[in-house]
């Protein structure tokens, strides 16, 4: 297996081990900050609804429109980072996400929220695709897996913090936006200083127990393994932390419930990815993730409109595990087979399909009469994904 300098935009000299670790940590910091800025909005949804008097459809539209900026950001950012280097696209993404966050800090009117979410989405798309590929360049399969876990941790902690802050009073929404903006500024500044001060170069991979033993097969081969997992990654997560809390009566303030639900779902997702790495779970973990997703959709379809707290918490854990396993295995599938010179583009494509799931809450709210049919169909399709992957892995040793 060969490794090149094409994706980093750095001069062709060797990284010292210290510089390598420092740069990798800086990339992870940007991913964490990006995840925080992208998802802290979920914890603010109830407070914004109450202050701006938004109906459910408008609120879900503000949440889901993020994908309008995100999807092209992922596709364009990943491909451009392959051509011009990871750094410039990562920084462009961070700055763009910051601009959208500041716009929403200055005004909470629905029109500004819609525009701000689109801008944040575009920035997050640039940052996620370039930084995930960059982490993979630096550390191989381990880098891809850790990047997914750190991004998910940002997704988890940001909404929990914003839910706590928003519960404190009317000023909480702006404080939450200000904190998100500050975290992005600090992480990006630290990363920029790291890349300027360290004697960085093209990535020299370190040995890793998950290093693929097969030769890279090309883009089509990589996508054929990763893409079937992608649709269920964030469909599982958003079903858990956006839709399920509305079906449970807890007695807590709505922002607190939203924040806790997001923390549990994405926290379980991140923890599952960490445990999977520590325990050296193989590619069949992706099969398990699809099974858990199918089970979660089926339960959501047949459950009563109002469910018990115990069932609600169980759903958060099940769907969080599903999301984590699917994200981890999809990213490792790409790293295992994708040529490095197109890794950013393929990572962006994987996340693009994954993020389509963010539209699930909007779909369920606007087509409420068909929600059972939608969830049942998703359960069937996720089950088919699990069976297809299991059979293919039995016939073909992928990694």
DSSP for residue 340: G
Contact 191, 90 (CB under 8 A): yes
Higher-confidence residue of 67 and 10: namely 67
pLDDT tens digit sequence for 322-335: 999 999 999 998 88
Looking at residue 211, its pLDDT comes to 41
Residues near 276 by beta carbon (within 8 Å), at least 6 away in sequence: 145, 285, 324, 325, 328
Looking at residue 2, its pLDDT comes to 33
pLDDT band, very low/low/confident/very high, at 142 (cuts 50, 70, 90): confident
Pairwise CA distance, residues 132 & 3, whole Å: 16
pLDDT at 94 over 50: yes
Global confidence as pTM: 0.80
pLDDT tens digit sequence for 345-386: 999 999 999 988 888 887 888 888 899 999 999 999 999 999
Looking at residue 202, its pLDDT comes to 41
pLDDT at 17 over 70: no
Inside any domain, residue 8: no
Nearest CA to 313 among 237, 244, 238, 239? 244
Inside any domain, residue 10: no
Name the average pLDDT for the chain: 85
Q: Which CATH number does the domain housing residue 108 bear? A: 1.20.1250.20
Inside any domain, residue 7: no
Nearest CA to 58 among 393, 361, 343? 361
Inside any domain, residue 142: yes
Tell me the percentage of the chain whose pLDDT exceeds 70: 89
Q: Which domain holds residue 258?
A: 17-395
Residues near 96 by beta carbon (within 8 Å), at least 6 away in sequence: 73, 119, 120, 122, 123, 126
pLDDT band, very low/low/confident/very high, at 163 (cuts 50, 70, 90): confident
Residue that has been written with the tokens 């892995």 in this structure: 393
pLDDT band, very low/low/confident/very high, at 290 (cuts 50, 70, 90): very high
Residues near 196 by beta carbon (within 8 Å), at least 6 away in sequence: none
- Total domains in the fold of the chain: 1
Instruction: Write the CA distances from 53 to 46, 105, 113, 140, 333, integer angstroms.
Output: 10, 18, 13, 48, 44
């Amino acid at each position: 297996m060969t490794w090149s300098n094409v994706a980093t935009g750095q001069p062709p000299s060797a990284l010292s081990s210290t510089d390598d670790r420092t740069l990798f940590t800086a990339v992870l910091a940007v991913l964490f900050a990006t995840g925080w800025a992208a998802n802290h909005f979920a914890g603010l949804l109830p407070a914004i609804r109450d202050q701006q008097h938004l109906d459910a459809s408008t609120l879900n539209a503000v949440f889901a429109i993020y994908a309008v900026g995100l999807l092209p950001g992922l596709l364009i950012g990943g491909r451009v980072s392959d051509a011009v280097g990871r750094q410039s696209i990562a920084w462009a993404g961070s700055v763009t996400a910051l601009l959208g966050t500041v716009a929403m800090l200055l005004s909470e009117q629905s029109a500004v929220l819609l525009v701000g979410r689109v801008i944040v989405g575009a920035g997050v798309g640039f940052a996620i695709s370039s930084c995930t590929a960059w982490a993979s360049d630096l550390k191989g399969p381990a880098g891809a897996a850790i990047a997914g876990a750190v991004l998910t941790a940002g997704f988890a902690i940001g909404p929990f913090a914003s839910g706590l802050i928003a519960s404190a009073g009317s000023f909480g929404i702006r404080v939450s936006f200000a904190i998100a903006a500050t975290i992005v500024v600090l992480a990006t500044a630290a990363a920029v200083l790291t890349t300027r001060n360290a004697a960085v170069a093209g990535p020299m991979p370190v040995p890793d127990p998950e290093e693929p033993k097969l030769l890279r097969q090309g883009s089509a081969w990589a996508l054929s393994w990763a893409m079937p997992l992608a649709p269920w990654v964030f469909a599982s997560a958003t079903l858990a932390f956006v839709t399920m809390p509305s079906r449970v009566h807890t007695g807590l303030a709505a922002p607190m419930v939203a924040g806790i639900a997001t923390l549990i779902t994405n926290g379980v997702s991140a923890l599952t990815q960490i445990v999977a790495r520590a325990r050296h779970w193989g590619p069949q973990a992706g099969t398990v993730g699809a099974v858990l997703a199918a089970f979660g959709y089926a339960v959501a379809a047949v459950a009563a409109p109002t469910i018990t707290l115990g069932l609600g918490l169980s759903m958060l854990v099940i769907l969080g595990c599903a999301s984590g396993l699917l994200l981890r295995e999809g990213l490792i599938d790409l790293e295992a087979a994708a040529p490095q010179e197109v890794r950013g583009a393929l990572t962006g494509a994987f996340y693009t399909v994954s993020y389509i799931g963010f539209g699930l809450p909007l779909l369920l709210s606007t087509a409420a009469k068909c929600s059972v049919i939608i969830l049942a169909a998703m359960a069937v399709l996720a089950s088919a994904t699990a069976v297809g992957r299991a059979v293919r892995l039995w016939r073909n040793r992928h990694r």
